[in-house]
């Protein structure tokens, strides 16, 4: 078991998984609200006007990333944890700067 953990303890695995989870949550959010992906630009314009809605969207999309980061921390996968945290911080900082 310890050897399998070492195989998963890579920075690029955390980065790639964090980006995939973030993008998957955006897609789930759009489909759950019955929006078509062709209306993506309209939704982004709406989110640009309503900063509270944009913040809620970003929090919903980053919640699974934070959960996976906690799990990788709990299982002592330090490099994977760093990858998840890098994706979370890099995706959150532009939204905070954009909103305020």
Which pLDDT tens digit goes with each residue over 68-95?
Answer: 999 999 988 999 999 999 998 888 777 6
**CA gap 89, 29 in Å, rounded:** 20
Per-residue model confidence (pLDDT) at position 94: 73
**CA gap 84, 88 in Å, rounded:** 6
Residue given tokens 């919903």 in the structure block: 60
Range 22-48 average pLDDT: 71
Per-residue tokens: 59: 């929090």
Residue-wise pLDDT for 38-77, tens only, equals: 566 676 677 667 667 777 777 777 888 889 999 999 988 9
**CA gap 14, 18 in Å, rounded:** 6
């Amino acid at each position: 078991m310890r050897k399998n953990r070492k195989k998963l303890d890579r920075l690029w695995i955390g980065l790639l998984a964090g980006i995939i989870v973030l993008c998957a949550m955006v897609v789930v959010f759009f489909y759950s609200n019955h929006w078509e992906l062709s209306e993506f630009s309209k939704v982004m314009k709406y989110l640009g006007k309503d900063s509270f809605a944009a913040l809620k969207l970003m929090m919903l999309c980053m919640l699974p990333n934070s959960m996976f980061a906690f799990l990788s921390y709990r299982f002592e996968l330090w490099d994977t944890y760093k990858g998840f945290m890098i994706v979370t911080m890099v995706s959150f900082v532009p939204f905070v700067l954009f909103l305020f």
